[in-house]
Amino acid sequence: MEKKVIVTLAATLLLFIFLNFVFVNFMGVPFLPVAITGHVVNDTGIVQIFVLGTYNVYIYSPENRSYNFSKWDAYILPLNVSADFALEPMNGWKYSLYDLRHSVYIENDTFFSPNSSITAVRWENLLTVFALSDGGEWYNSSVVFYVDVNNSAPLIGNITEPIFVCEGESLDYRFNVTDIDEEDLVGDISPKNPFYLSLYERNGTFSFFDIVSGVLDKDDVGSYVESVSAVDPWDAIDSRDVDVEVIEINNVPILENIGAQTVYLMGENSSFYFIVNVSDIEDGVTGDGSFEFNLTWSGNENLFGVGLNDGVMNYSPVVGHEGRVYSLQICVEDNALDFVHQNISLCSPRDGDSEIVCDNFSLTVTDQNRPPEILNFSPTSSVFEINGTLNVGYSAGVYDADGTIPDIDWYVDGVLKEHNENVSTDSFVSNFGCEVSGAHSVRIVTSDGLLNDSQSWSVSVNEVACSLPSSGGGGGGGGGESCVENWFCEDWKVCQNVERSFVSEILSLEDYSVAKESCFQNKEEDERFCGFQITSCYDLNNCSRVKPLVARPYEKRFCYFTENPGCFDGVTNCHDGACELLVDCGGPCSACATCSDGKQNQGEEDVDCGGPCPFMCEPEVPFVMISSVLTLIAIILIIIILLVLLKLFLSWKR
């Protein structure tokens, strides 16, 4: 019974839907009116459903794939397109080409005709094609394709040789390397120390490298032949030998300040005996007798002189000399260089001649000496707390009742930081620097040579973390944050076997474990080939921080161990004091093949052109063409000779 009822209701519902459809579509009214309480509302309408067609633009060429070209070709590709709708007859097509590698439009809204061509760019291209329908609407489609070109070797740019640098200076010589593949290049220089190579900047096809050094000293003077190289990720390389000359200079002698001196007329300290302390890189020290000394008096008193070569001043005052402050100047002259480099003028003001340095000092002769005094010092509080990187200023005035202008010396933690002469007031700035904390001191001492006065400040320093500064700064008393490490490392040493080194106690257990783990990570678990090598790294800025701002490079690394490494073992390794650049070439081995070595090698089509080189070889003139030209020239010469002979014969016959 229930099934019959359900079936009946379903049939009735279907009949109602069918009749309503017929009435609406053929009579324009619904099968049953809509009844609303109080009113009867009749409404009619037509519902239309439109299925809109899609407008498609098709790009048949270029396709979403890579296209291979020669590095010297124009990257021309056919541009074949169509659309499945009626087009505007005039200016119906345009396209844009976007260089994805460099984020720039090569073409933008450029009109074209189908089945023409476009010139692409190397690497990734985004092509968007637009079609204008006859209804005035633009529709588009896009494709990404890749232009692939064989790798080219980098080329080192012009380097002016020799490169000159003066003793006492640092070398910073910049040169460029061109790589049309725009790849990250690795630079190297051999041998290393005192010169190193660093990457300064990469911009498109250019990479800029610096040949750098620390401050060069007397031991670095001389000529060097340095091999600089640049290698791309595919081991394509260019290298060049560069001459560097370190020019010797005559360094200025260092004369120790004498400062204020006091001597009594009689009794203790009634004699003034002083040896002028001089040191010089070329000529040694005072006791070597290599200097000439000269003493002058501002008032021409000439109460005593100085030893010409030993720098000794010896004086005992007599009655009538007391109660005065004398002003004197001591000068010392060293010797000229035995050999002066022809380019010494580059090291101006040094010229290789002898150098003279002087020092002014005062001598007070008294029969009753009184100590100098420190007046009006600042900060007035002798105990305070600061952050380590804060610049703190100190100042003071000094006075001596005997008329002497006493010396003023500033000390930080017992270390002399600044010496002053012939000034009655002075100021000093202290900065303890980052990562410094605890109790510290700043002290001023004033002296007339015999008696002195002092003032101290106890400073509690709060530690401040170091950070890499964008520019230097800092005071005269501390390290501040102005020095940032500039690390460079020597060549890696010969690869040593990890297992043997551990057995021989060259490696500690900790280093052995680290080395084994490094071999494992480099997929070299066989102990016969598991090796390590070391190097030494230096901070060319000599910041001498306990905790460097720039971390020291790791001075050990994994290497593939081989017995008796050399230039014919098929492995890129280090030996004979240097490291190979590529397999068995560069460094201690013969130079690697390059596109600038004047040889046809490494698959070049001709000398330094074609193949892996960025230069196209000039097309050869066919032999047949050369023969034809030579034949024509020969015929012309024969005709000229015959005409000359004929003319001579006719003139002789007459």
CATH of the domain at 320: 2.60.40.60
462, 479, 495 - which closes a domain:
462
Q: Which two tokens stand for residue 507?
A: 């490696």
Collapsing DSSP states into helix, strand and coil, what is residue 638? helix
pLDDT of 231 reads: 96
402, part of any domain? yes
> 3-state SS string over 55-97?
CCEEEEECCCCEEEECCCCCCEEEEEEEECCCECCCCCEEEEE
592, part of any domain? no
528, part of any domain? yes
State the Cα torsion 146-152-154-158 to the nearest 10°: -110
CB atoms closer than 10 angstroms to residue 472: 10
Q: What percent of the chain has pLDDT over 70?
A: 88
Same domain, 178 and 226: yes
User: Using 50, 70 and 90 to split pLDDT, how confident is the model at 11?
Assistant: very low
The upper half-sphere exposure of residue 68, i.e. CA atoms within 13 Å in the direction of its Cβ, equals: 2
- The CA distance from 410 to 429, in Å, is 10
For residues 474 and 588, the model is more confident at 588
User: Using 50, 70 and 90 to split pLDDT, how confident is the model at 232?
Assistant: very high
Decide if 548 contacts 584 (C-beta within 8 A): no
Most confidently predicted of 40-49, 223-232, 463-472, 624-633: 223-232
User: Using 50, 70 and 90 to split pLDDT, how confident is the model at 623?
Assistant: low
Task: Read off the pTM.
Answer: 0.76
601, part of any domain? no
**Terminus-to-terminus CA distance in the chain, angstroms?**
152
Same domain, 415 and 400: yes
Decide if 135 contacts 182 (C-beta within 8 A): no
475, part of any domain? no
Contacts of 270 (CB under 8 A, 6+ apart): 263, 264, 316, 317
Q: Which two tokens stand for residue 314?
A: 């010896």
What CATH number did the domain enclosing 105 receive?
Answer: 2.60.40.1220
317, 348, 366 - which closes a domain:
366
The string over 64-89, giving b where at least 16 C-beta atoms fall within 10 Å of a residue's C-beta and e elsewhere, is eeeeebebeeebebebebebeeebee
Same domain, 261 and 348: yes
| Helices and strands: H and E segment counts in the chain | 4, 42
Strand-strand pairing, 116-119 and 76-83: antiparallel
Same domain, 357 and 259: yes
pLDDT tops 60 at residue 42 = no
Whose CA is closest to 358, among 251, 260, 257, 249? Answer: 257
Range 609-618, long-range pairs (CB < 8 A, 24+ positions): 612/150, 612/151, 612/152, 612/153, 612/236, 613/152, 613/153, 614/71, 614/152, 614/153, 614/155, 614/178, 614/180, 616/72
Decide if 69 contacts 147 (C-beta within 8 A): yes
Range 305-311, long-range pairs (CB < 8 A, 24+ positions): 306/276, 306/330, 310/275, 310/286, 311/275, 311/276, 311/277, 311/278, 311/286
What CATH number did the domain enclosing 381 receive?
Answer: 2.60.40.10
Same domain, 360 and 270: yes
Decide if 413 contacts 461 (C-beta within 8 A): no
49, part of any domain? no
Same domain, 360 and 272: yes
Structurally, the chain folds into a number of domains equal to: 7
Whose CA is closest to 196, among 490, 585, 485, 484? Answer: 490
105, 127, 149 - which closes a domain:
149
Strand-strand pairing, 260-264 and 272-275: unpaired
Per-residue pLDDT averaged across 569-595, rounded? 93
Per-residue pLDDT averaged across 614-628, rounded? 72
- The CA distance from 125 to 65, in Å, is 10
Same domain, 502 and 542: yes
Range 393-396, long-range pairs (CB < 8 A, 24+ positions): 393/427, 393/428, 393/429, 394/427, 394/428, 394/429, 394/430, 394/442, 394/444, 394/457, 395/425, 395/426, 395/427, 395/428, 396/425, 396/426, 396/444, 396/446, 396/455
For residues 367 and 295, the model is more confident at 295
Q: Which two tokens stand for residue 420?
A: 């002053």
pLDDT of 474 reads: 37
In tens, the pLDDT along 117-175 reads 999 999 999 999 999 999 899 999 999 999 999 999 999 999 999 999 999 999 999 99
Per-residue pLDDT averaged across 636-647, rounded? 82
| Per-residue CA distances from 451 to 164, 256, 263, 434, 445 (Å) | 51, 20, 11, 37, 10
User: Using 50, 70 and 90 to split pLDDT, how confident is the model at 22?
Assistant: very low
586, part of any domain? no
Decide if 490 contacts 539 (C-beta within 8 A): no
In tens, the pLDDT along 53-84 reads 579 999 999 999 999 999 889 999 999 999 99
pLDDT of 624 reads: 56
- Residue range of the domain that includes 628: 621-654
Q: How high is the mean pLDDT of the chain?
A: 87
- The CA distance from 206 to 181, in Å, is 10
Same domain, 162 and 141: no
Collapsing DSSP states into helix, strand and coil, what is residue 497? strand
Residue 560: strand pairing partners: 530
Same domain, 259 and 303: yes
pLDDT of 470 reads: 54
Strand-strand pairing, 260-264 and 356-366: parallel
pLDDT tops 80 at residue 40 = no
Same domain, 164 and 116: no
Cis geometry, peptide bond prior to residue 379 (ω within 30 degrees of 0): yes
pLDDT tops 70 at residue 33 = no
597, part of any domain? no
Same domain, 163 and 238: yes
Q: Which two tokens stand for residue 501?
A: 């080194």
- The CA distance from 401 to 596, in Å, is 78
Same domain, 447 and 349: no
